[in-house]
Structure 1
Amino acid sequence: MPTFEGPVMADWPMPAGSSPEKYGQFVIAAFDAVGAVACLDDDIASRAAGALPQSKFLGVVVGAGRVPMLNPDGRHRLSLEIYLIGQGLPLDKDPAFSVPIAPANEHPSNRTSPILSSPLPWTNFYVHSLCNFLCLVSRIHYDTMRSPPFVVKKQRHEIMLQTMADRNENVRRNLLRDNGHILNPPTEGADADVSYYTDESEGSEDSPNEVDLQVAAVYAKTAKVKAFVEIWTNLSTCDDPATFANPREFLALVRQLDAISRDYEARMMSQILSKPDTGSWVAAMVVTEVEEDVDRSRCSTVLSWIRRGLTSA
């Protein structure tokens, strides 16, 4: 079975006989935590990632993932939007927040299965509406002699509309439960796509000093930590469908990946702040916080590390 390592967008195999369809395949996806932290080039992070469960999920690829990341040749890494599929109806949320996949044909709201090129080889599987993710792909195992079951674009559109309605309804119910207020806002550092570092001389023509560059390099690395998956297009590589992880476990793995990234960030910032030549930089950052109108949400993480450094000094 051919394997594409570090695939780019052009490497995604199209279902045989489905032209001009490009997506819609049912695939096996394994969470690749080690691949996700490879950008950190850090042994501790790699060991922590390697200790995470090597969970495999069943999913349907509904389209490109729109996760911007270039490979060393300047080409866009392959990213996919995957809707995860579980055995049986979801039990942690409203069971109706799902879409049956043939040969499954029962649903609390009488939804019907989309038309597949061929039924799944297993029964009682459902798209779990609240479990869809954008992922980068570390490698693809592709059987050129076998095409996985797939759904055409019109059917994928129906799945997307149904799951979108379920997600909106879930949000509405949560807001009603919380009396219209979100009780648990995102915590500091929760968004890996946001840079929390602000240069004290932002907007000026001064060149960044060495500490500026070191801090910026840390955040540049952690910003590249994204969910990666390894893909198998041949469903027969799974001997027992009971071994597929529950779709809700994917989010737990993403959160553990985020914890590994934040631990790396903490260790690197501690190393930077422990150097003798960072004293003037720390003082300048504190003065900036007090005297200037800065974007506190962006520099709060750096300032928290400064305070820790000053406290322990």
Structure 2
Amino acid sequence: MDPHEAPTFQDWPVAPVDGEFKYGQVVLLSLDPVASVSPFEDEVATAAAAQLQRAVYLAVILEGGDSFLMNAEEKYLLNFHFLLVGEGLAEENPSASTPLAPALVHPDGRAPVSPSAGSLPRPNLYVHSYDDFLGLVSRMHRGINPCSIRFSEDDMRILRVHVFKDKVKAQKERIAALEARIAAGETDVEYTPIPAYNPAEHESSRLSAASSGLFGMDPDAQERNQLPDPERDFEMRLAQAQIRVEVWLDVAAYPGPYTIEQPFHLHLEVDRLKRVWNEWEERATAELMAKRPATTAWLDGMAHHPDADSTHSNMDVESAHSTALPLQPDLPASRASSPSSLAPDDAIDVRMEQEEQDRRLVKQMLAARARETAAKQLSSGPAGTSPSLHAPAAASAGAQEGLAASPATPRKRPFAFISRAATSATSAVVSRVKPIFSGKPGTIKA
């Protein structure tokens, strides 16, 4: 069957080399926005996703991904960790590239890596170290000769090491630049590291796992499965919001002519997809809140009575973990005006993105504090406390879920509708919380 919709790992048609090594295949892929919003079953989100532009990318499969999504038959859906390949050296840092033979040029004299089988479709190709990502395969085209181009296990080990070292080097350089700015007297500095290669650092979903109707693989599965039906359905749909890609295994059989887009453009496409996700989440949250007037009243009360003395106590910056792609280094000016199929006004302004990360983290911090306060009020409400400050049943479920989650566990996500509703209290404490991020390195993920 070609194409194969929603393939599982059992549907992967490529046999391991020597009975062991499974990866190293060269494929074409394209972001599938409509499939990426399909769990929402929302006409508005589907229509918005259908309008997003799609480019074609060349990629090497590094290894299996870290998504635990299952189909109705409880088989794991096919997902991979991809290394993106571009024509020419990477723009933002040419050294953070690995030539693929017959390409030879590299600023540091890095030796090229040659395919063990087949020939690459272009002569001047490089793996761009900063542009790896995790994607779930929504549609798989086998073609006549699937995965005829592949790299050996030894070559993939070389690529893996290059990606790791390039990211570590870039991170050290950014830390040094940050320290120099601080030494020069700057006080308002922000730092977002480039994560070293580690699949666990690359979140492909907002929650780690959702199977056929249950959060079966999540550490908090029992608590989540006991949520009221509307909230449970909301969290389930949000958990399945993952980056989905359409994949062509036979590069030579791609239908029609194509241009291999530069890898960094995929981040622009994903950014636009995330906007659709966020818009759906806001609409769904509003619907939940409309059905829960008592919850709304309680959250309004919390927004007007924040605990100023402990707003940012016991907070772990690394626990703000909700992203589809690893954060990238600062983008050069050429990225904002590249002559690609993507409009220039869609380019990401990194400074604005980092500020948005701060705001999101503040919201999560406020929501966590609100849940903690609500739990205390439920256990021992002081005399004379306004009834509007007591959490109703729905908010109580959210509070218990929040208390059960460990801040150090990266795959946790605050109970979403409470997190969104806490926005009204954010502006009152941003000025107090902002210094936490000034001059202190940390991982803040969008």
Letter in 2 for 1:65: G
Q: Does 1:280 align with 2:294?
A: yes
Structure-to-structure mapping, 1:116-131, within 5 angstroms: 116=115, 117-131=117-131
TM-score, normalized by length of structure 2?
A: 0.59
Letter in 1 for 2:22: K
Alignment partner for residue 215 of structure 1, among 231, 242, 260? Answer: 231
Q: Does 1:305 align with 2:421?
A: yes
Q: Does 1:183 align with 2:199?
A: no
Q: Structure 1 CA distance, aligned partners of 2:298 and 2:127? A: 52
Which is further off, 289-298 or 105-114?
289-298
Alignment partner for residue 257 of structure 1, among 259, 268, 273? Answer: 273
Q: Structure 2 CA distance, aligned partners of 1:213 and 1:163? A: 43
Q: Structure 2 CA distance, aligned partners of 1:291 and 1:230? A: 44
Over 3 Å counting, the alpha-carbon distance change for 1:75 and 1:146 in structure 2 is closer
Over 3 Å counting, the alpha-carbon distance change for 1:221 and 1:234 in structure 2 is same
3-state SS of paired residue (1:76): coil
Q: Tell whether the 8 Å contact from 1:15 to 1:148 is kept in structure 2 after alignment.
A: no
Letter in 2 for 1:121: P
Over 3 Å counting, the alpha-carbon distance change for 1:17 and 1:176 in structure 2 is closer
Q: Tell whether the 8 Å contact from 1:15 to 1:150 is kept in structure 2 after alignment.
A: no
Q: Structure 2 CA distance, aligned partners of 1:17 and 1:192? A: 30
Which is further off, 146-155 or 283-292?
283-292
The match for 2:56 is 56
Number of positions where the alignment pairs a residue of Structure 1 with one of Structure 2: 291
The match for 1:193 is 206
Q: Tell whether the 8 Å contact from 1:14 to 1:21 is kept in structure 2 after alignment.
A: no
Letter in 2 for 1:111: R
Superposed displacement of residue 89, structure 1: 0.5
Q: Structure 2 CA distance, aligned partners of 1:220 and 1:146? A: 34
Deviations 1:188-241 (A, max 9, x none): xx995259xxxxxx9xx9x978xx432332222122111111111122235656
The match for 2:168 is 168
3-state SS of paired residue (2:159): helix
Q: Structure 1 CA distance, aligned partners of 2:56 and 2:179? A: 37
Over 3 Å counting, the alpha-carbon distance change for 1:44 and 1:13 in structure 2 is same
The match for 1:41 is 41
Deviations 1:114-158 (A, max 9, x none): 231233131111000000011100111112445421011111011
Letter in 2 for 1:139: R
Q: Tell whether the 8 Å contact from 2:82 to 2:132 is kept in structure 1 after alignment.
A: yes
Q: Tell whether the 8 Å contact from 1:7 to 1:77 is kept in structure 2 after alignment.
A: yes
Over 3 Å counting, the alpha-carbon distance change for 1:214 and 1:162 in structure 2 is same
Q: Structure 1 CA distance, aligned partners of 2:103 and 2:257? A: 17
Structure-to-structure mapping, 1:129-144, within 5 angstroms: 129-144=129-144
Deviations 1:164-206 (A, max 9, x none): 10011112222222229971669xxx995259xxxxxx9xx9x
The match for 1:311 is none
Q: Tell whether the 8 Å contact from 2:135 to 2:245 is kept in structure 1 after alignment.
A: yes
Structure with the larger strand share: 1
Report which structure shows greater RCO (CA 8 Å, sep ≥6).
1
The match for 2:263 is 247
The match for 2:243 is 227
3-state SS of paired residue (1:179): helix
Over 3 Å counting, the alpha-carbon distance change for 1:208 and 1:281 in structure 2 is farther
Q: Structure 2 CA distance, aligned partners of 1:29 and 1:234? A: 11
Which is further off, 70-79 or 143-152?
143-152
Over 3 Å counting, the alpha-carbon distance change for 1:260 and 1:230 in structure 2 is same
Over 3 Å counting, the alpha-carbon distance change for 1:292 and 1:16 in structure 2 is closer
Over 3 Å counting, the alpha-carbon distance change for 1:208 and 1:12 in structure 2 is closer
Q: Tell whether the 8 Å contact from 1:98 to 1:129 is kept in structure 2 after alignment.
A: yes
Q: Tell whether the 8 Å contact from 2:206 to 2:241 is kept in structure 1 after alignment.
A: no
3-state SS of paired residue (2:270): helix
Superposed displacement of residue 48, structure 1: 1.1
Q: Structure 2 CA distance, aligned partners of 1:64 and 1:300? A: 29
| Stretches of structure 1 lacking an aligned partner (at least 5 in a row) | 196-201, 309-313
Q: Structure 2 CA distance, aligned partners of 1:185 and 1:280? A: 39
Q: Structure 1 CA distance, aligned partners of 2:266 and 2:423? A: 35
TM-score, normalized by length of structure 1?
A: 0.81
Over 3 Å counting, the alpha-carbon distance change for 1:284 and 1:13 in structure 2 is same
3-state SS of paired residue (1:218): helix
Identity %: 23
Q: Structure 1 CA distance, aligned partners of 2:109 and 2:192? A: 35
